[in-house]
């Protein structure tokens, strides 16, 4: 597998919370994954940003779910390369999959 980014994050956005899947590769090529859940309140979103910056994350994939993505996008704009995606285009008919299984797909 060809690694495009050393560290990236996929965000699954909901009305009251965000699930973040951070994926990074070490110098020896090993993949690591960490899941975190944050509320959509501003202090928690700022904690999400701090967590991503501490991990040296450069790219964030964000689902365009309703209007819930907008505050997150506004806070992250200029800090990360953001890819705004339509969840239906990403997953096709795989809506029934577990979030942990979908996590690498978002990223």
Domain extents in the chain: 1-19+36-62
Average pLDDT across the chain, whole number: 85
Cα separation, 35 vs 20, whole angstroms: 6
Q: Tokens at residue 60, please?
A: 């964030």
Residue pLDDT, tens place only, 13-62: 999 999 999 999 988 889 999 999 999 999 999 999 999 999 999 999 99
pLDDT for 84 beyond 80: yes
Q: Which of 7, 4, 1, 12 is closest to 98 using CA atoms?
A: 12
Q: What are phi and psi of 87, to 5 degrees?
A: -60, -35
Calculate the CA dihedral of residues 92, 37, 8, 42 and round it to 10 degrees: 110
């Amino acid at each position: 597998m060809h690694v495009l980014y050393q560290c990236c994050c996929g965000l699954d956005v909901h009305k009251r919370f965000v699930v973040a899947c951070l994926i990074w590769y070490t110098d020896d090529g090993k993949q690591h994954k960490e899941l975190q859940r944050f509320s959509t309140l501003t202090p928690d979103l700022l904690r999400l940003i701090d967590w991503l910056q501490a991990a040296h994350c450069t790219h964030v994939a964000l689902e365009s779910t309703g209007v819930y993505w907008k505050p997150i996008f506004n806070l992250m704009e200029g800090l990360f390369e953001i890819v705004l995606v339509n969840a239906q285009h990403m997953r096709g008919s795989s809506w029934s999959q577990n979030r942990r299984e979908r996590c690498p797909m978002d990223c």
